[in-house]
């Protein structure tokens, strides 16, 4: 294969040919990259690419040239070689003489024109002959008959030929008068196109050959000492970093990280929540939830088959819990039913993180130095045997907080909850009396959702009952206030996900996880009116 010019050469060769084209003197230029590309037989795009690359290192300076010119359509090219449709039709009619030609005869004489010449030579030609009053349609026979003997020439073809004959296309916008261009454009025979090219001159760093700057310092450079003289690329502090290929936090974890930060700022310490399997004792009994409570049914709770029983329970504490259930104490009459060890030792997947809160409070009560006021929180997974729908799954996450201190009141609970929710941007709260076996009073927490413009339930709360705290051994005037909410609900609101299955489970789109923006909650200072 023979190649002319520098066609088929790599970008380095294109670069060096550009640099050598400018080697004549300080004011040598390539006046137009397009002309240069035709001359050197190299694709214009690759010349422009090389010029831009040279310009980034200031080897060359570029000035943009924009050139407009007309190009001929396929139909126009057909006219240039075979004459305009109207002349072809007229010629056929003149040959036929006074009898004229039917449509079919005309088709045979001039041809319908292939797909490439648009809507058909015959149809366009006939239309233009009638419009130009070169022919008429005979009413009786329906045939087309010429009414002129000859015409002076093929105007359309001549105009197109004139455009084509201009040696540098750049000037073809000047050869015809304006109405002619308009007429040709209307017939879609020509179209105006814009081409971008460049004038290339020497840049401040011009040199006849390009020295590539080193991007990295190598061991060899250090060993040979060549790093002292090697030119290095400048740092580009404005470039976007490469996107990281892995390790994206799921939206739930992003919200968890943010909640964790907020709770730590409020002085809460995280509880160890890595216990998904719990005993009924910690999950229910220590919370003074009666052994006959419906939640302790397999319809609501996932029990563990293997191992089905816990092997250790703090025995003294067990006795005090059992006594509280059976006979009461601390002002309570208890449930007055038989407390069964068999029920208490059953293993299950914890149904709430309050099981962990209970373990922590028991520990706090039996701390070596004695009880000390504390604030704890946890954010982790819980399990319930629920029927699943757009907002419910069998496993979800709870955020739970508790404060244990002397003589806390319901006001402290409301205040703490208000502070927490204000930090995640919810300022309007309402509290509704509720029931939990382990808290009294208990309150459901409702928040006003400014987007949805309605009050929605966002959490549950209460003061732990003496029946729960006394058997643990907490001092008599220590009160524990606590609240809990799901992690899923605020995450779905934050990330505008309306089906929980798009957030969690096997249907989750990995792209969603990868692209979910970071989570930030804005603390709201002032109250908004509902
Ligand atoms: N454990 C409760 C639930 O699962 C939440 C809660 C926590 C309520 C602490 C009161 C106090 O909904």
Report the nearest-CA residue for atom 12 of ligand 1. 460
Instruction: Please list, in sequence order, all residues whose beta carbon lies within 8 angstroms of the beta carbon of residue 459, skipping any fewer than 6 positions away.
Output: 417, 444, 445, 483, 484, 485
Q: Are 527 and 427 in contact (CB under 8 A)?
A: yes
Instruction: Please list, in sequence order, all residues whose beta carbon lies within 8 angstroms of the beta carbon of residue 136, skipping any fewer than 6 positions away.
Output: 130, 144, 145, 147
Q: Are 227 and 221 in contact (CB under 8 A)?
A: yes
- 365: in domain: yes
CA of 508 to the centre of ligand 1 (A): 28
- 60: in domain: no
Range of the domain at 149: 85-153
Q: Phi first, then psi: give them for residue 64, nearest 5 degrees.
A: -75, 140
- 348: in domain: yes
- The residue among 99, 133, 153 that closes a domain is 153
- The residue among 153, 183, 206 that closes a domain is 153
If one counts every other C-beta atom within 10 angstroms of the C-beta of residue 418, the result is 16
Specify the ligand 1 atom closest to the Cα of 460. Answer: 8
In this structure, the answer to whether residues 261 and 144 fall within a common structural domain is: no
**Interhelix angle 178-186/155-165, nearest 10 degrees:** 110
- 418: in domain: yes
Give the Cα separation of 278 and 282 in Å (integer). 7
Instruction: Return the closest-CA partner of residue 41 out of 16, 14, 12, 70.
Output: 14
Give the Cα separation of 331 and 324 in Å (integer). 10
Q: Are 290 and 430 in contact (CB under 8 A)?
A: no
Q: Are 322 and 284 in contact (CB under 8 A)?
A: no
Cβ 353 under 6 angstroms from ligand 1: no
- 114: in domain: yes
Residues pairing with 486 in the sheet: 398
Instruction: Provide the strand spans (E) within 85-172.
Output: 135-137, 144-146
Provide the pLDDT for residue 106: 87
Give the Cα separation of 166 and 159 in Å (integer). 11
Provide the pLDDT for residue 454: 84
- 475: in domain: yes
Residues pairing with 196 in the sheet: 66
Instruction: Return the closest-CA partner of residue 173 out of 158, 146, 194, 142.
Output: 194
Number of domains in the chain: 2
Q: Are 163 and 175 in contact (CB under 8 A)?
A: yes
In this structure, the answer to whether residues 148 and 257 fall within a common structural domain is: no
- 146: in domain: yes
- Residue 353 Cα distances to 175, 181, 347, angstroms: 85, 80, 15
In this structure, the answer to whether residues 140 and 278 fall within a common structural domain is: no
Provide the pLDDT for residue 169: 61
Provide the 3-class DSSP secondary structure of residue 344: helix
Provide the pLDDT for residue 170: 62
CA of 283 to the centre of ligand 1 (A): 12
CA of 399 to the centre of ligand 1 (A): 9
Cβ 352 under 6 angstroms from ligand 1: yes
CA of 460 to the centre of ligand 1 (A): 5
In this structure, the answer to whether residues 451 and 334 fall within a common structural domain is: yes
In this structure, the answer to whether residues 272 and 395 fall within a common structural domain is: yes
Question: For residue 282, what is the domain's CATH number?
Answer: 3.30.930.10
Provide the pLDDT for residue 168: 63
Specify the ligand 1 atom closest to the Cα of 442. Answer: 10
CA 269 to the chain's CA centroid = 35
List per-residue pLDDT tens for the chain, 530 residues long.
Answer: 333 444 445 678 899 999 999 998 888 999 999 999 999 999 999 999 999 999 998 999 999 999 888 889 999 999 999 899 999 999 999 988 888 898 888 888 887 555 444 447 888 899 999 999 999 998 888 899 999 988 888 989 999 998 888 766 667 888 888 888 888 989 899 988 889 999 999 999 999 998 888 889 999 999 999 999 998 988 888 988 877 777 889 999 999 999 999 999 999 999 999 999 999 999 999 999 999 998 899 889 999 999 999 999 999 999 999 999 999 999 999 999 999 999 999 999 999 999 999 999 999 999 999 999 999 999 999 999 988 888 888 999 999 999 999 999 999 999 999 999 899 888 889 999 999 999 999 999 998 877 778 888 989 999 999 999 999 999 999 999 999 999 998 898 888 888 899 999 888 998 888 888 888 888 776 555 44
Place of tokens 């609501």: 300
**Interhelix angle 85-96/121-131, nearest 10 degrees:** 80
CA of 255 to the centre of ligand 1 (A): 20
- 258: in domain: yes
Which two structure tokens, joined as six digits, stand for 99? 């009898």
- The residue among 101, 136, 153 that closes a domain is 153
Q: Are strands 269-270 and 374-383 parallel, antiparallel or unpaired?
A: parallel
Provide the pLDDT for residue 117: 43
Query: CA angle, corner 106, sides to 103 and 108, nearest 5?
Result: 115
Cβ 461 under 6 angstroms from ligand 1: yes
461-513 residue pLDDT tens: 999 999 999 999 999 999 999 999 999 988 988 888 888 999 998 889 988 88
CA of 398 to the centre of ligand 1 (A): 9
């Amino acid at each position: 294969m023979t190649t002319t010019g520098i066609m088929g050469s790599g970008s380095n060769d294109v670069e060096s040919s550009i640099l050598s084209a400018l080697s004549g003197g300080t004011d040598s230029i390539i006046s137009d990259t397009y002309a240069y590309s035709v001359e050197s037989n190299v694709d214009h795009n690759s010349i422009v690419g090389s010029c831009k690359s040279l310009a980034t290192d200031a080897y060359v300076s570029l000035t943009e040239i924009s050139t407009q010119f007309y190009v001929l359509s396929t139909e126009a090219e057909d006219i240039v070689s075979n004459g305009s449709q109207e002349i072809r039709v007229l010629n056929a009619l003149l040959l036929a003489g006074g009898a004229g030609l039917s449509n079919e005869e005309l088709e045979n004489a001039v041809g319908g024109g292939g797909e490439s010449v648009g809507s058909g030579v015959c149809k366009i030609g006939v239309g233009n002959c009638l419009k130009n009053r070169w022919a008429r349609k005979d009413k009786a026979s329906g045939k087309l008959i010429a009414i002129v003997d000859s015409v002076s020439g093929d105007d359309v073809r001549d105009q197109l030929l004139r455009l084509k004959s201009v040696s540098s296309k750049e000037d073809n916008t000047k050869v015809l008068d304006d109405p002619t261009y308009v007429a040709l454009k209307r017939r879609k025979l020509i179209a105006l196109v814009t081409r971008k090219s460049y004038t290339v001159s020497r840049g401040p760093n011009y040199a006849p050959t390009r020295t590539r700057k080193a991007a990295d310092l190598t061991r060899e450079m250090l060993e040979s000492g060549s790093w002292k003289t090697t030119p290095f690329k400048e740092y580009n502090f404005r470039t976007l970093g490469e996107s990281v290929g892995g390790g994206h936090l799921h939206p739930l974890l992003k919200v968890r990280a943010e909640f964790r930060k907020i709770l730590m700022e409020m002085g809460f310490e995280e509880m160890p929540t890595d216990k998904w399997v719990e005993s009924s004792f910690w999950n229910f009994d220590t919370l003074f939830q009666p052994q006959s409570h419906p939640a302790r049914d397999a319809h609501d709770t996932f029990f563990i088959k293997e191992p089905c029983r816990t092997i250790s329970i703090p025995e003294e504490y067990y006795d005090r819990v059992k006594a509280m259930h059976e006979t009461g104490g601390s002002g309570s009459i208890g449930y007055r039913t038989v407390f069964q060890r068999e029920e208490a030792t059953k293993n299950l997947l914890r149904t709430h993180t309050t099981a962990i809160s209970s373990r922590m409070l028991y520990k706090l009560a039996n701390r070596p130095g004695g009880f000390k006021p504390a604030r704890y929180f946890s954010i982790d997974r819980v399990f319930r045997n629920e029927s699943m729908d757009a907002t419910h799954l069998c496993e979800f996450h709870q955020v739970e907080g508790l404060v244990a201190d002397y003589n806390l009141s319901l006001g402290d609970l409301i205040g703490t909850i208000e502070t927490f929710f204000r930090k995640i941007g919810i300022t309007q709260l309402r509290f509704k009396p509720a029931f939990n076996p382990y808290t009294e009073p208990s309150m459901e927490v409702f928040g006003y959702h400014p987007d949805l413009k309605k009050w929605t339930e966002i959490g549950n709360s209460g003061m732990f009952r003496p029946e729960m705290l006394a058997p643990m051994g907490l001092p008599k005037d220590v009160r524990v206030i606590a609240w809990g909410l799901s992690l899923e609900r605020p995450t779905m609101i934050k990330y505008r996900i309306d089906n929980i299955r798009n957030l969690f489970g096997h249907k989750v789109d990995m792209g969603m996880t990868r692209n979910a923006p970071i989570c930030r909650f804005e603390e709201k200072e002032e109250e908004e009116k509902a």
